[in-house]
Structure 1
Amino acid sequence: MDQQTKELIENNINTNEVCLFMKGTPDAPECGFSMAVANMLKILEVSFKSVNVLSDQSIREGIKKFSEWPTVPQLYVKKEFVGGCDIVKEMFENGELKKLFEDKQIKYKK
C-alpha cells in the first residue's frame, strides 16, 4: 500500500469517532454485509462516517492490509478496529455494541 493511501485511511479513522469502510454508501449500499452494518448503526442512531471502498481501488485493497482483515465492511470506533459484519452483528445482538459506545462515550439511542 502506498503512503498516500495509508494516510487517507488513517485520516478517516483518526478524524471520525465512528468510521465504516463499506461497499457503497449507507443510503445506497452495494453489498448486503455493508448494508447490515450501516443499518445497525442507523438503528442505534450513531453518527458515523462512511467510506465507499468501491470508489477507490487503492482504499479497497489498502484497508484490508491496514487492518490485516480480509473483508469489507470494516468498523472502527475511536481509532480501534471492531470487526466486520459477523462480529458487529453478534455485538449488536448481545448488547456489546451498545456497551462499546458507552465505554467510548459515543452517543447512541438507548
Structure 2
Amino acid sequence: MSISPDATVPGIGASEPNAPSVDWDGITLMLYGSIDAPQGPRSALSVLLLQCIGADYRTVDVGADAAARSVAVQRSGVTTFPQLYIDGEYIGGGEVIGELMRSGFLARRAEAVDLPAVDVPAADVPAVDVA
C-alpha cells in the first residue's frame, strides 16, 4: 500500500485548529505510549526492533493524541497499533515488524531514507510471539 505523505484526510486539514501535527518524513512509529514507556507487548517489541537496527525514528503516542490516531487509522485502514510508516507510507503493524526486520526490509528502507541503520544478522534476532 502506498499513500502519499501529502494525502488529505476528509474532515482534517492543515488549516483546522485541531488538525494533528504528525511529521510523516522519515520513520514514524504510531503507538500507545512512548519510546521510554511503550504500552503493550507489540509496541515494546516495535521500539526494541527499531533500536536494534539503529534507526532514527520518531514516535507518536496515539493514546494521548486522538486526532493523530484517527489520521493513522484512515491512512492505513487498520485500527490496531503500533503502526509503522516510512515517509508517510504504511509499512505494517506490530505483528509484521519483527518479520520485516529479520528479512532485512527495515534496514534497507531506513537506509533508503538516509537514516542510519546497522546490519543485524537474522540469526541474532529472536523470533518473538506477541500474540
Bucket of the pairwise TM-score, normalised by the shorter protein:
0.7 to 0.9
Take 2:17 and 2:108, find their aligned partners in 1: how far apart are those partners? 32
The secondary structure found in structure 2 opposite 1:55 is: coil
Give the share of equivalent positions with the same residue, in percent: 22
Name the SS for the 2:60 alignment partner.
Answer: strand
94-103 or 64-73, larger mean C-alpha shift: 94-103
| 1:54 has 2:66 as partner | no
* Paired AA for residue 23 in structure 2: N
Equivalent of residue 74 in structure 1, options 83, 106, 120: 83
TM-score of the aligned structures, taking structure 1 as reference length: 0.82
Question: What secondary structure, in the 3-state scheme, does the structure 1 residue paired with 2:55 have?
Answer: coil
Structure 1 alignment gaps of length 5 or more: none
Q: How does 1:1-110 map to 2 (within 5 A)?
A: 2-3=11-12, 4=16, 7-8=19-20, 11-13=22-24, 16-110=25-119
Which has the higher mean CA deviation after the structures are superposed, 32-41 or 55-64?
55-64
Letter in 2 for 1:12: D
* TM-score where L is the length of structure 2: 0.70
Alpha-carbon distance, 1:108 to partner: 0.8
CA 1:54 to 1:92, structure 2 compared with 1: closer, same or farther past 3 Å?
same
Instruction: State the structure with more CA Rg.
Output: 2
Provide the rounded CA distance (Å) in 2 between the counterparts of 1:97 and 1:56: 26
What letter matches 1:68 in structure 2? G
Number of equivalent positions: 107
Other structure's SS at 1:51 match:
strand
Matched residue type, 2:49:
M
Higher share of residues assigned helix: 1
Query: Structure 2, unaligned stretches of length 5 or more?
Result: 1-9, 120-131
Which residue identity does 1:50 align to in structure 2?
T
- Distance in structure 1 (CA, Å) of the matches to 2:19 and 2:75: 11
